[in-house]
Structure 1
Amino acid sequence: MTRNLLRALAAVVVLAAAGLIGWRVLAPTEVLEPADEPFPVAAARAPGIAGKLLMAPLVVDDRIRVYAGKRYVKADGPVDAKTMATALWSYRRWPERVSGVVAVGATVVTRWTDGLLVALDGDTGRELWRAGGPAAPGFAGRTGAEAVWAPPGLHVAGTSVLVVAGRRLLALSAADGSRRWTADLPVGCTDPFVTAGGRFVCGEGAWDVISGTPVRGWPPGPSTPLGCDVARSGCAGLRDASGRGWLAGSRRPERVAALDAPDATAAGGLILATASGAVTASGAATWRWAGEARVLGVRADKVVLLTAAFEVVTLDARTGAQLGRFPAYVDDERVEPWKPHLWQVAGGVVAVERLFPDATDDTTEHGHYYTMDPVLLAAI
């Protein structure tokens, strides 16, 4: 009998230990590891390939690189480091997943699948505020590019963070997370974006980002955004439902026929077209650059192009003069065709997520990403 009692006690101990281990592993938890040293400063670089990364970086305040994993966000630097470095700070949650990340200045706002928004100081990683919200879509892909460059239902406008959940639009202060206003969205309000002039646009309508009130007399939608920054925000122009182009850098859109062309976009005060084997600029400056290319963006008076021959080209936005031109491959990397999926043009760098030409929307397919480190980083 004593032996049976000892066996029973041993079984109870084993079950208790297993339960404790399971609770510690599966219980909801958060881990914040703040930075204990200042961010390194990027060195001045001539235009050229800086390196390649396993994950897509959100360049914050032109100084900080922030990455999103399935259940964590982390930061490293400097922005032109050729590989991912040891995290200077990180923030993890379990079992929730990252939905998206945006930044206003040096404030990094993370959104999680349970709807929680947590703002972190970009320099230290320390929590600034948190606010509840509706459930959000889950993490997608391997590089985190969607989460940091095209977060679903997450946008920025001035000092506000805009959150879309179903037919509800929330505007939160990036400084403290307080709710500034809410608005009801109509049926069919899909693929939203925010203009540089301070309008939230989706479906057939537009809303003022300061007050949340509907904007009257807006071009008929649904609209196609042009020249957007990350998070489909700061869009410089749009084409309305009939294909007519408009500049969107002010409170009222300005009709510009040059944006009617399907190959035209707007950025940095320029209308840029890529037809007939050349890139042409009108608007704030007029020039022509010979060559077939895609416009990646305009930043710091530089137009950044990706040519059909897989070269990164930088042009002076005022004159069109070529400032730099180099192959879009890292040294000793295999040279094969690839296609850009998502990207960010920041103050001194451009980062591009590269896929194989025949890649579909299925990020789990074999041969989806170009190399194991598919994110190209170049100094501009």
Structure 2
Amino acid sequence: MVLLLLATLLVGWRILKPAEVLATSDEPYPLLVVSAPGVLGRINLAPLIIEDRLRVYAAKHQIRADEPVYGNSVYTTRWSLRRWPEQLSGVVASGATVISRWSDGELVAVDGRTGKIVWRQESLAAPDYAGHRTGAATVWDPPGLRIAAGAVVVAEGQTLAGYDLSTGAERWRTTVAAGCTDGFTTIGGVYVCATGAYDVTTGQAVPNWPVGPFTAVGCSVANSGCAGFRDAAGRGWSTASSSPRRTFTLDRPDSTVADGLVVSTANGAVTAYREDGTALWSRPGEGRVLGGVPGRVLVFTADHHLVGLATADGHELFRFRLAYKKEDDLWDLGGLMVSDHYLAIERRRKDGPDDPESPIYYYNTDTVLLVGL
């Protein structure tokens, strides 16, 4: 009996003891493949798309990658990092560098091509995994984790810290007002939250910033690299530099920035504007602008079609139904990621419960739609 008890304890210790397992890859980096516009497939996890070559997924205790980007299934793991009992709090990427934040506050950067660790850094305490079934919240909107201008910005409570993206070295740390955790970064290199704005290179407060709270527009994944915002008064601003520039066409609550243009969907038309506020082009039809990629503005229509409009003149480049084979359209948009050549959409059941843990919250089991652009 004593020997059985000891054996049980030993097995339990081996299973539950703290451990980190890293699996790397020596395979060649996948070639860039550009798919024709259309629905490619559906999978059950939300991918963070790396340079249009790899997909990275989040789980409670693990980050892992697979390929190809255009695959209609989740494939054999290319590389992975598992940390037990720590939980994966968030993931961001710049180029091929993938940075993960863990519940013990550790930042771990890996080379997305191989999975090998590039650097690791102790940082601020982090919240537990909140990605639910698909991991979308962890890879597409990680709490308190942003990137901009070669920096990784981490927010926790009333502390904001910036780390060098290439080395992990801490650049700065500062105390901020309450309510500054859920911010965004701009293409001009500023971290913006409801209570202030901070230069991501120095951590210094940016003077004469408009008054928040703010609505960010034209953002890439992880609320980073946003091209503009609206302030508390609803006034629009562009963020190409560290000092925001007043942009009246962004005053419209339905407007955003896509491929460098201010685009509005008011009055039953999609309209793009020049910097002086005059219309560059306009096309009839209601829809929601999902973003822009080089040469194209992406519009999601009420009848669940994706339309690609040429940035230069608005002419229609493609139009197709967002459905895999014979699926219906009884779903609403959840999270999404737009890369240069691919789009991933998390679909939520239309009129479903507002609870990601509900078995009928998501549209179906393979609820993430993969789309070629």
- TM value normalised by structure 1: 0.94
Match of 1:21, SS state, is helix
Matches within 5 A, 1:212-251: 212-251=203-242
Match of 1:305 among 299, 303, 309: 299
Residues 124 and 154 in structure 2, CA contact (< 8 A), matched pair in contact too: no
Match of 2:323 in 1: 329
Match of 1:350 among 343, 347, 369: 343
The whole-number CA distance in structure 2 between the counterparts of 1:283 and 1:151 is: 33
Q: Deviations over 1:62-119 (max 9, x none)?
A: 2221111111111111221222111111111111111100012111001111111111
Q: Deviations over 1:246-291 (max 9, x none)?
A: 1112221111111111111123221111111111101268111221
Residues 42 and 80 in structure 1, CA contact (< 8 A), matched pair in contact too: no
The whole-number CA distance in structure 2 between the counterparts of 1:323 and 1:271 is: 19
Match of 1:15 in 2: 5
Larger radius of gyration: 1
Match of 1:104 among 90, 94, 106: 94
The whole-number CA distance in structure 1 between the counterparts of 2:257 and 2:298 is: 13
Match of 2:3, SS state, is helix
Query: Measured at CA, do residues 379 and 231 of structure 1 come closer, stay the same or move farther in structure 2, by a change above 3 Å?
Result: same
Match of 2:355 among 354, 358, 362: 362
AA in 2 matched with 1:212? G
AA in 1 matched with 2:352? A
1:260 aligns with 2:215: no
The alpha carbon displacement at 1:159 in A equals: 1.2
The alpha carbon displacement at 1:360 in A equals: 4.3
Q: Which runs of 5+ in 2 are unaligned?
A: none
The alpha carbon displacement at 1:358 in A equals: 2.0
Match of 1:293 in 2: 287
Residues 156 and 181 in structure 2, CA contact (< 8 A), matched pair in contact too: no
Residues 193 and 225 in structure 1, CA contact (< 8 A), matched pair in contact too: yes
Match of 2:313 among 313, 319, 322: 319
Q: Deviations over 1:110-129 (max 9, x none)?
A: 11111111111100001111
The whole-number CA distance in structure 2 between the counterparts of 1:123 and 1:196 is: 25
1:84 aligns with 2:74: yes
Moved more, 358-367 or 302-311: 358-367
- TM value normalised by structure 2: 0.96
AA in 2 matched with 1:35? S
The whole-number CA distance in structure 2 between the counterparts of 1:158 and 1:190 is: 19
Moved more, 187-196 or 152-161: 187-196
Matches within 5 A, 1:122-161: 122-140=112-130, 141-161=132-152
Match of 1:181 in 2: 172
Match of 2:155, SS state, is strand
Match of 2:266, SS state, is coil
Q: Deviations over 1:226-256 (max 9, x none)?
A: 1111111111110101111111122211111
Match of 2:58 in 1: 68
Match of 1:25, SS state, is helix
Match of 2:267, SS state, is coil
The whole-number CA distance in structure 1 between the counterparts of 2:223 and 2:354 is: 19
Match of 1:6 in 2: none
Residues 46 and 135 in structure 2, CA contact (< 8 A), matched pair in contact too: yes
The whole-number CA distance in structure 2 between the counterparts of 1:42 and 1:268 is: 21
Query: Measured at CA, do residues 160 and 259 of structure 1 come closer, stay the same or move farther in structure 2, by a change above 3 Å?
Result: same
Q: Deviations over 1:300-346 (max 9, x none)?
A: 121111111001111111111111111100113x3132111111110
Runs of 4 or more, structure 1, over 4 Å off, are none
The whole-number CA distance in structure 1 between the counterparts of 2:210 and 2:85 is: 43
Match of 2:329, SS state, is coil
Match of 1:377 in 2: 370
Match of 2:347, SS state, is strand
AA in 2 matched with 1:298? G
The alpha carbon displacement at 1:12 in A equals: 2.1
Residues 261 and 273 in structure 2, CA contact (< 8 A), matched pair in contact too: yes
The whole-number CA distance in structure 1 between the counterparts of 2:73 and 2:311 is: 29
Q: Which runs of 5+ in 1 are unaligned?
A: 1-10
Match of 1:276, SS state, is helix
Q: Deviations over 1:160-198 (max 9, x none)?
A: 111111111111111121101112111232531111111
Residues 169 and 183 in structure 1, CA contact (< 8 A), matched pair in contact too: yes
The whole-number CA distance in structure 2 between the counterparts of 1:362 and 1:132 is: 33
Residues 290 and 298 in structure 2, CA contact (< 8 A), matched pair in contact too: yes
